[in-house]
A and B are shown apart, each in its own frame.
Chain A
C-alpha cells in the first residue's frame, strides 16, 4: 500500500498535525505564564 512518496507525504502531514497538538498543549502553560506575570 502506498509508495515511498505517499508515505513521506503522510508523515509530513502527520507531523504538522502533531505540531498543532503540541501547540495546544504548550499554549496552556504559556497562557498561564502570561497570566501570572501580567
Chain B
C-alpha cells in the first residue's frame, strides 16, 4: 500500500479500494478520521448507557437496581470509556480529517503509524469492556485508580492496566504524527502564525499528550508491579507512599483535561468567525493564551488533592497557580465574544453549539475558579459540586464542540448538507436537557452530597430526580444527531458546495465537497485571503 506514495504524481488517482478490508488497511487520513469518529460515537453510546444506569439508580434514595459494587464499576467505566474512548478519539478523528487539509499537506506524516494507532483502540476497549463479564466484575476503584483501593481489584486488574497502556500508545503515536505533520509538512507560505487556530490547538495538545501519557503509563506500571511483583511503591507498610500515586496520576491528569479542551477551543475559534463573518479577534493572543494554558497545566496538578494533607506551602502554591490559569482562559472567552461583536451573525446549528459552548463552558469555568480556592475546596472536594464542574466543561464544553465540528465539516466530508431543522431541534433538546442534568448537581454538592455513592440521604432527592430526567432526555436527543449525520453519510440531502458556509475560510474550503480521497498531493499556493481571514 505504502509504495504507492512515491508514484502518486504519475498514476491516475484511484479512489479507495472496495470492500471491508479497505477500512482495516487504510492509511488515508480521511478514512482514519472517519474510523476514529465512528469509534468514538459507539463509545459515547456505551458510556452514555452506563451513565443511565448511574442516574437510574440515583433517581431515588434506597437501592432499586444495582448492587453498590456494580454501581462503582459503572462510575469507573463510564469515565474511562467517555474520556479515552469518546472524547480523545473524537478529537483525534477531527485532527486526522482536518489538519492535513488545513496546512496543505497530502496526508499525515506517518500514515501507517496512523492506521496502527487507530486499530489499537478497538482492541484496547474490547479488553476493558470484557471485564464487565468476568469474575469479580469490572474495575470499581474510580477512573483515578487510587491505591490501595485499586489493588483490591480482582481479575479485571491486568486487563485494566494493559488496556490503558494500549490507549496511551495510541494517543502518543497519534500525537507524534500530528506534530511531525504540522512542523514538517506545511505548504510553503503557511507560516506558523498563519495556521488556523484549530491546527495550533492540536499542535499544543499533541505536545501535552507526548509529555503526559507516558507519565500515566509509568503510574499504572507501578500499580501493576505493586500488585503482582512485590514492589511497594504505594504501600506504606513497605516504605512506599499512596499519595505519591496521586501526584504522578494528576501530573498526567491535569494536562489531560486540557488535552480534552484545547481542541475544543480550536473548533470554536473556527466556527464563530465563519458565522459572524468576521475574522477571529486577537489571533496572536489566542495562540499565546493557548500556549500559556498548556504550560500552566503542568504546575497545577495538586488542586485535585487539596485534602490529602499537603504542607501549607504546597497548598498555597497550587491554589495560586490554579487561580492563575483562569486568566488566559478568560482571555480566550473574551476574544470569542469580541469576534461576535459587531459581526453579522447567522445561527446555523454549528454556531448554536459554538455559542452554547462559550456560555456553558464559562459556567464550568466559574465553578472551577471556586474549586481553586483551597480552603473552600475542603468543602467542595469529592462532592457533586466537582461532578457538576467537570461535566459542565466536558459535556456542554468539549462534547458540544465535537458535535459542532461534525455539523460544520460534514458537508466537506460527505458532500451533503445535514437537515438544518433537525439540527436545530437536536441543539435545543441537548442544551435544555444537559442543563437539567448537571445544574442541580451544584446545589446537591454544596448541600453535602458526596460523589461516587449509589444511595443518598433523603434531602437530596428532588435535585437528583431532575438530574436523572435530564440525563435520559439528553441521551435520547442524541439519536436525532446520529440520524442526521447518517443521512449525510448515505449521500442523501442537499448537495454541499466546496465552500459550504459562505463565511468560511481556510484551505479545506478550496477543495471540492466531498473532499477527494487524496488532496494536496501537490502543495497548494497559499492565498492570504484564506489565511488572513482565518488569522
Contact = CB atoms under 8 A, between A and B. Distances in A.
Interface of A: 1-4, 6, 9-11, 13-14, 17-18, 20-25, 27-29, 32, 36
A25 to B, nearest CB: 4
Contact of B110 (A10, A20, A27, A29): A10
A-B pairs, top 3 by smallest CB distance, nearest first, are A28-B218, A25-B214, A10-B109
Which of B107, B176, B213 has the largest count of A CB atoms less than 10 A from its CB? B176
B187 to A, nearest CB: 13
Contact of A9 (B172, B184, B248): B184
Nearest to A36: B239
Nearest to A29: B218
Interface string B110-136: 110100000000000000000000000
B521 interface: yes
Interface string B247-259: 0100000000000
B184 A3 contact: no
A23 to B, nearest CB: 8
B172 A13 contact: no
Contacts of B218: 24-25, 27-29
Interface residues of B, number: 34
Contacts of B106: 1-2
Interface of B: 5-6, 8, 106-107, 109-111, 113, 172, 175-177, 179-180, 183-185, 210-215, 217-219, 222, 233, 239, 244, 248, 518, 521
B271 to A, nearest CB: 29
A21 B169 CA distance: 10
Contacts of A24: 210-212, 214-215, 218
A11 B222 CA distance: 31
A29 to B, nearest CB: 6
Contacts of A10: 109-110, 180, 184-185
A13 B212 CA distance: 19
Contacts of A17: 175-176, 179-180, 210
A32 B110 contact: no
12 contacts: A1-B107, A1-B111, A1-B518, A2-B5, A2-B106, A3-B6, A10-B109, A14-B176, A14-B177, A20-B210, A23-B214, A36-B239
